[in-house]
Every structure is written in C-alpha cells, then in structure tokens.
Amino acid sequence: MTATQTLFELRDINLVYRARPALSQLNWTVPVGQHWACVGPNGSGKTSLARILSHQTTHFSGDYHSSELLLASGVAYVCFEQAQALCARDRKLDDSEYRADAADPGTRVRDAILAGHEADEHFLAWVTRLGMEHILDRGLRYISTGEMRKTLLVRALLSNPALLILDNPLDGLDHASQQAMNDALGSLLQEEQNLLILCRQLEDIPAGVHRVLVLDAGRVVCQGSPAEVLTHEEVPGLLAPPLPPLCDLPLPAPRPYHLPEGPLLELRDVAVRYGDLTVLQGLNWRFDRHQHCCVSGPNGCGKTTLLSLITGDNHKAYGQDITLFGRRRGSGESIWDIKQKYGQLDTQLQLNFARSMKVVEVVVSGFFDSVGLYDDWGDVQRRAAEAWLDALGVGDLSMQSYDTLSFGLQRMVLLARAMVKSPLILLLDEPTLGLDGNHRRRLLQAIDHIACHSDTQIIFVSHSAGDIPDCINQQLRFEPAADGFRVVCENT
C-alpha cells in the first residue's frame, strides 16, 4: 500500500444541529500515512467532524468516502464523553448496597482496557510507557481524569484502528502526565498509525504532525503544513480575539444565613482511607476571610477527595476535626446547610446539565442548586440572572437555547449560575478544562472581576500553575512524598 492512497475523503459535508449549521460545505482529503491536527476555537466544528468520521453522527449531507483500510479496521475516537459514559455505566451497575463488605470496585482499569482479551506484550508495553501499573486493579470510578484519559488511549490503541482520533489529549493532565502523553504521541507519530489530533490552540500541535486543518463556525479557514497555517492572516485573530468588556457586578442576593466569625474552612490533621488505600493523611488547612486559594497537585493525589470533604459529600468527614462555616462537621448541620454557601463550577456539571433550556433559565437554576429548573421562579430571579449575564459579558445570550452555545460560552453561563445566589465560596474544579485560549482568558478575567468586586472567595483547582487567576493569595499544594503525598499550604 502506498502513501499516496486515500484514507478517506469528505465532499461537501453539511451538518445541522438544532437548526444551526455545525459544518458547512466541508471538503477534506486525507491520504494514508499522513498525521493531521484539526485546530479551532470552541464551537468551530471539531467535535462534529470527529463524530462523523467515527460514525457516531450520520445525519449529515454530502459524501463520506472511506477506503477499504478504514472500513476493515475502523476509527477509534478518544474523548471526554467516553469517560463520562463509562463512569455512568459503572454507577448504574453498582451493587455495593447488596454486598457484605458494602463496597463495589466496579469495572477495573485492566478489564476496561482488555475488554475480555488476554494481556499481551502490546498491552504491557503501553501500560509501562504511560506509568499505569499501579492503577490496573482500581475501579474506573476511583481514578483521576488524567488516569482515565490514559486508560481510554491504551484501549483504543489495542483495537488497532485505521484512524485514531484524539480529542485534546493533554487536557486534565498534570505536568508529569503531560510529558508521558507527549512521549506517547511522539511514538505514534513515528509509526504508520494514521492520527488526527483535535486541538484548541496552535501550541498544542505535536511536532510530528504533517498537516493542519483550521475550522471556524463549521467552515474550513485554511489547511496546509503547520508553517503555512501559522502565517495565515486569519488564524491569529481567530484563536486570540480581544476580550469583551465586563460590566459592574449586581448587588448581592440575600443570604438566608449569618456570616461565620473566624475562618470559613478549617481542617486539622485530617486523614481519609479506603481499605488499604490512604488518600489523605495529616492534612491541615485554614481558609480565612479575604483569601482566594489555588489547590494544585498531580492526578490522583487527593484533590477531589478534599473537595468532597468540604462540600459535605464525603461521609469520611464525620469524626474528624473539620469546621465548615463556623460549625464542626457532624454537629447537626445538613448537607444543604453547607451547599447553599457554595457556588460550584466544573466540567462534569456542564456535561450533565439539562438541555432544552434558555440561558436565563440555566442561570436562575443556581438559586435552587438544581441541574434543571423545577421550582417556581419570577421576575426577581430573572432580573438577577440577566444582571449576572451582563456583568460577565454574555448578556446578549439570555434568550438563546443553552445547548446551541459553544462549549466556552456554556462555561461562562454556568459561572453566572454559580454566582447568582452570591455564595460565600466559588468552588472551581478545573474550570478551564475543555476551553480554547480565548475562553480560558475570558473565564480567568471574569473570576478576577468577581474576586475584586464582591465578597465571594475563590477556591480554584488546577493542574497548571500558569492557568490561574491573578487574585490567588493562598496555595494548597499536593507534593509527592515517600508515603504518597504531603500537603503544603502557603499564604502569599
């Protein structure tokens, strides 16, 4: 088989989603042996393109011509939604309440990768290369975002697809995991495996990529070598447009509770163990008024467990020295007493949010802490929601349908939802995950705006030290130690 043979060809592809064009008149030919990157901002059509290539979307017009190689070996598409579907299935099959030990590990990483096949040298080589030996017998629900991404990659590689599509493969990975993933990508780019990498910015394109396709609003802006794309006149303005102005914040909403005296959160010598697995040990943290904290650390270090302790979601908080908003945990407060003081934003919330809602309705749901809107609401809540949308520079979206917005604009709407009840703490768990460079800058600008002009305090969880807002004045870092991780707290 020669490198000049065509792997696939798309001719005049059009895709409409909820009456809006997702792809328009797209023409693209990929020869066998070429490695491509597809670059574009949130909402440009990258995901729609990948779903067509992987046969997950069939309601398009135009011609998708597949070679015999592609028909025989198929397409593997590794994306965040895969992880969501696997974990949802695992939760549905959870039978821990019927087991004597009240614990169901669920699908183990090893089984998710092998899917009933025997472990071979190919499996062992990739597991070793990505440093996954220690998680093979863990359940999928008990691994980090980065570990899940590695799991999905190895599973896809073992299927030997004709085309492997990787959706932003470095998203959600700490520095060490990014290096391991970059090394893995470098190896793949040296092999005959046909590779398509979806990226949001030019700097994410690996060095071994042959060609780049740039999309915007479902249309091809340009395609060519990485050097040719870098010098194209439309590309810089497309990926880094100027930030929109922000407006004054609305007056705070009434709070049905008194502000606590002393620190908002205080944890002393806290430990969390699950069987033989120690997740947290000797954790001490005091979060005072007027502080804004960045919680950082490698994948799997215990950040998510820490968040579940302070939001009331983890029963391991009982019997420990944990004070939340002036009350010792377990002294009679309900989980709703705790949660009403938080505004929360994370990628999982965005993916699970009820569809077919107007943007203003999504923001109003923040008053009720509901995923969807099931309570009565009126003009007071509407005016507050619209004021927050205006303050964050997205007021023109108020009456649009939430699920027609780009991923980045949805994230801005959910930030307004988190703030509409004027929470004491805005809890942001990897809030820039999945965002292109422009929307990442918009979100960080909005967070600083909130920190500067309200009494809401920020807890910002991130793997990337350079990807945090300027308001941060406290660092809570999980650092590797001989027996796991130690937590270092520094006020700046």
Residue 464's pLDDT band, with cuts at 50, 70 and 90, is low
Question: Minimum mean pLDDT among 52-56, 249-253, 332-336: which range?
Answer: 332-336
- pLDDT value, residue 413: 96
Q: Predicted confidence band at 314 (pLDDT cuts at 50, 70, 90)? A: confident
Of the listed ranges 195-199, 250-254, 258-262, 274-278, the least confidently predicted one is 274-278
What is the average pLDDT across 270-277? 82
pLDDT (mean) for 251-257: 90
Of the chain, the percentage scoring pLDDT greater than 90 comes to: 53
Domain over 6-239 is classified CATH 3.40.50.300 = yes
Q: pLDDT tier at 104 (50, 70, 90 boundaries)?
A: low
For the chain, the domains span 6-239, 265-491
pLDDT higher than threshold 90 for residue 248: yes
Asked whether residue 378 carries a pLDDT value surpassing 70, the answer given is: yes
**33 vs 277, residue with greater confidence:** 33
Q: How far is CA 176 from CA 147, 189, 197, 201, 254, in A?
A: 12, 20, 20, 21, 44
Q: Which of 22-31, 221-230, 378-387, 480-489 has the lowest mean pLDDT?
A: 480-489
Structure tokens at 349: 């919330």
Asked whether the whole model's pTM tops 0.75, one would answer yes
Mean pLDDT of 26-34: 94
Tens of pLDDT, residue by residue over 427-463, are 999 899 888 889 999 999 999 999 999 999 999 998 7
- Over range 290-303, report the average pLDDT: 89
Residue 233 has pLDDT above 60, yes or no: yes
- The answer to whether the 6-239 and 265-491 domains have the same CATH topology is yes
Answer with the residue of higher pLDDT: 151 or 18: 151
The two beta strands, 75-78 and 20-31, are unpaired
Q: How many whole angstroms separate alpha carbon 13 and alpha carbon 26?
A: 5
Quote the percentage of the chain above a pLDDT of 70: 94
Gap between the Cα atoms of 412 and 389, Å rounded: 8
Q: Stretch 480-487: mean pLDDT, rounded?
A: 80
Q: What mean pLDDT is predicted for residues 419-426? A: 96
Residue of 278, 344, 343, 260 lying closest to 316 (CA atoms): 278
The CATH classification number of 265-491 equals 3.40.50.300
Contacts of 294 (CB under 8 A, 6+ apart): 460, 461, 462, 468, 472, 474, 475, 476
Give dist(CA 155, CA 115) in Å, integer.
8
Residue 225's pLDDT band (boundaries 50, 70, 90)? very high
pLDDT in tens, 166-208: 998 888 777 777 888 888 888 888 887 899 999 988 888 988 8
Integer Cα distance of 19 and 358 in angstroms: 15
pLDDT at residue 155, as a whole number: 93
Check whether 100 has a pLDDT greater than 50.
no
